[in-house]
Chains A and B, each alone.
Chain A
Amino acid sequence: MAEIGFAGVKKSYGDTRVIHGIDMQIADGEFVVIVGPSGCGKSTLLRMVAGLETITEGEISIGGRVVNGLEPKDRDIAMVFQNYALYPHMSVYENMAYGLKIAKMSKAEIEQRVQAAAGMLELGHLLQRKPRQLSGGQRQRVAMGRAIVRDPSTFLFDEPLSNLDAKLRVQMRLEIKQLQRRLGTTSLYVTHDQVEAMTLADRLIVMNAGVAEQIDTPMAIYERPASQFVAGFIGSPAMNFLPAEISGDGRRLSLTHGLDLRSQGLDLGNLGGRTVRVGVRPEHLRLVDTAEAELHLLVRLVETLGADLLAHGHLVPAEGAPSEAAEEIVTVRLPGVARVREGDTLTLRAAEDSLHLFDPETGKRLADV
């Protein structure tokens, strides 16, 4: 059991800085997911916690102990790798027992621990097999087993599910979550998959280009994204972004193409006269009568997902010709029962407080309307 602390953690390779200063505290037993696109530094950050990368600047502490100068084995952590990193020449049992043997544990104790972990992960009948005789999901379980038997203070997961097929990934996701709940071990989990991030995390770190853009609970991040990057990265399908302007008195918000949003009761006085970027999630756009409509979407492409359907198209003026369509592609998520065809014009309105305004330069969030 341990808390993990980051204080001004930076990482450089030569002159190239890849992590620009991370500060955060992870509570004991918390499940924290680091999510971001490839190359954002999320794996590097995890490997710095593991002791596989040096820390250029700042401090990382585990359980109140600064670990900067400690070898991986002295950090009381266990790690699950993307390719599982099972020792191919050892049986499942030997794989799990390897760390315990090195720790000079007694034979009986090793046996008991491995059996307990194997039971928990339903690996009991596979203990004598070699990794190559196992399926992807089973290998994944062995990798988890190897982490569990050592009873570490912290689990580190480096994209552990990326090598599995979609169905297995969902199943293993649930298993990891349940296991972590049961063991109550502090966990740090790296992924590029935002669905995985949302479902697993107690708290989420959204990283971009070596910076933690936002650290919060998944719902808070979904509802109030701190920046345009976070807004676009979290949520699927991605949020729509449209350029807009606020009138001088802050009473009108008009899209660049002349459509007014939120015509009634708008008061953005402090932002008067600014150019902004309006973000709205596909699932927050609803079909309404023409009278209430804020947006008119000329549908170009429909994707049916069963429960839902996604309509992609361009915004058009209320009584305009299709040739005046805006450039940006806007996506709408509608219930699967909606009958939408390519070429239709949909009359839409965004739900209350679901329009997010971002600064077009800095990408920072300005307001919700």
Chain B
Amino acid sequence: MEKRVVFRHAWLPYLLLLPQLAITLVFFIWPASQALYQSVLRQDPFGLRTAFVGLQNFERLFSDPTYLNSFQVTVVFSLAVAALSMGAALLFAVMADRVIRGAMAYKTLLIWPYAVAPAVAGVLWWLLFNPTIGFMAAVLDRLGYDWNHFVDGGDALLLVILASAWKQISYNFLFFLAGLQAIPRSLIEAAAIDGAGPARRFWTIVFPLLSPTTFFLLVVNVVYAFFDTFGVIHATTSGGPGQATTILVYKVFSDGFIGLNLGSSAAQSVVLMSIVIALTVIQFRYIERRVHY
């Protein structure tokens, strides 16, 4: 159903849109165009000389092995974060959906991690896994695993994946729970009468009916892993050891603000921007059209 509002004056709708447009212009369009502009320039670290270099920044970027490595790390990182946080959230949501007594308490507790700032979440996990004082590191040590994310790139990546996924579980949990509660009870009952046990009911009825939620969350989580995990990484591993946890967004920061290579950093931003645009387009096209049962 479409609602059409008729304005009496032609300028009124523009006036009403003005605040939003102003914010979008100042905080999104302007910086984005700055990035685009910067990406075709080369500037010395002190900003004294600037030269137009065309697409050279991009050419260099895609022939740079550290950048390609960062791409790979990002893909592994974001898929792992999405899978881990969504898997755990789905499990919790299914459990919480069954709880009758004290359901509110469970749900409230499960939502808390979302209120924790990314950097704090990172530090929390960093402490837990700290090779000298961390509880989890000590447990792993007992089990015969020598955990050290300061040295071992794999351990470091796992740590940031855990911390990032943990923080996103709450968000996914909320959506999954809402999705589960939107499935009519009678469907589950019909399946039970048809002879399906709990596991079978979940995989043949519940999970397919959750697919719109799952797909939406997949896109949201990948975007989260790409961009919002900066704080986690900065507070725990700072992209190291080596380049083991330098995801694309972290590399934008380290190249631009530490390496002071603004042209390359801007070019990386532009690449990231196109990735987000692509993800958003996929999300809209698929969620609106394909994922319907």
Contact = CB atoms under 8 A, between A and B. Distances in A.
A71 B192 contact: yes
B248 to A, nearest CB: 36
Interface string B191-232: 111111000100011001101000000000000000000000
B184 interface: yes
A83 B186 contact: yes
A77 interface: yes
Contacts of B204: 98
A14 to B, nearest CB: 12
Interface string A83-110: 1010111000000001100110000000
B189 A89 contact: no
B191 A81 contact: no
Interface of A: 50-52, 71-73, 77-79, 81-83, 85, 87-89, 98-99, 102-103, 130, 146, 150
Given A98-B194, A102-B194, A85 B189 contact: yes
B190 interface: yes
A89 B192 contact: no
Contact of A102 (B196, B209, B293): B196
B195 A73 contact: yes
B186 A85 contact: yes
A79 B188 CA distance: 12
Given A85-B184, A85-B186, A88-B293, A98 B191 contact: yes
Given A71-B192, A72-B192, A99-B195, A83 B184 contact: yes
A130 B211 CA distance: 16
Nearest to B187: A85
Nearest to B186: A85
Contacts of B211: 89
Contacts, number: 59
Contacts of B195: 73, 99, 102-103
Given A73-B195, A99-B195, A85 B200 contact: no
B205 A87 contact: yes
B187 to A, nearest CB: 5
B189 A81 contact: yes
6 contacts: A71-B192, A77-B193, A81-B189, A85-B186, A88-B209, A99-B194
A164 B187 CA distance: 19
Contacts of A79: 189-190, 193
Nearest to A131: B293
A73 B192 contact: yes
B190 to A, nearest CB: 4
Given A72-B193, A83-B186, 5 more contacts: A73-B195, A79-B193, A89-B208, A98-B194, A98-B196
Nearest to B188: A85
A312 B41 CA distance: 91
Contacts of A52: 189, 192-193
Nearest to A73: B195
Interface residues of B, number: 18
A73 B200 CA distance: 13
Given A73-B195, A77-B193, A85-B187, A130 B293 contact: yes
The 10 closest A-B pairs by CB, nearest first: A99-B194, A89-B293, A73-B195, A85-B186, A85-B190, A102-B195, A81-B186, A72-B193, A89-B208, A72-B192
Tell which of A77, A83, A85 has the most Cβ of chain B within 10 Å. A85
B187 A87 contact: yes
Interface string B63-84: 0000000000000000000000
Given A73-B195, A83-B184, A130-B293, A89 B190 contact: no
Contacts of A72: 189, 192-193
B193 A50 contact: yes
Contacts of B189: 50, 52, 72, 79, 81, 85
Contacts of B190: 79, 81, 85, 87, 146
Contact of A73 (B184, B187, B193, B209): B193
A99 B200 CA distance: 11
Interface in B213-261: none
Nearest to B205: A87
A160 to B, nearest CB: 12
A230 B14 CA distance: 66
A150 B194 CA distance: 8
Contacts of B192: 51-52, 71-73
Contacts of B209: 88-89
Interface in B66-108: none
A102 B186 contact: no
Contacts of B200: 102
B280 to A, nearest CB: 26
Contacts of B187: 85, 87-88
Contacts of B293: 88-89, 130
Tell which of B193, B196, B205, B293 has the most Cβ of chain A within 10 Å. B193
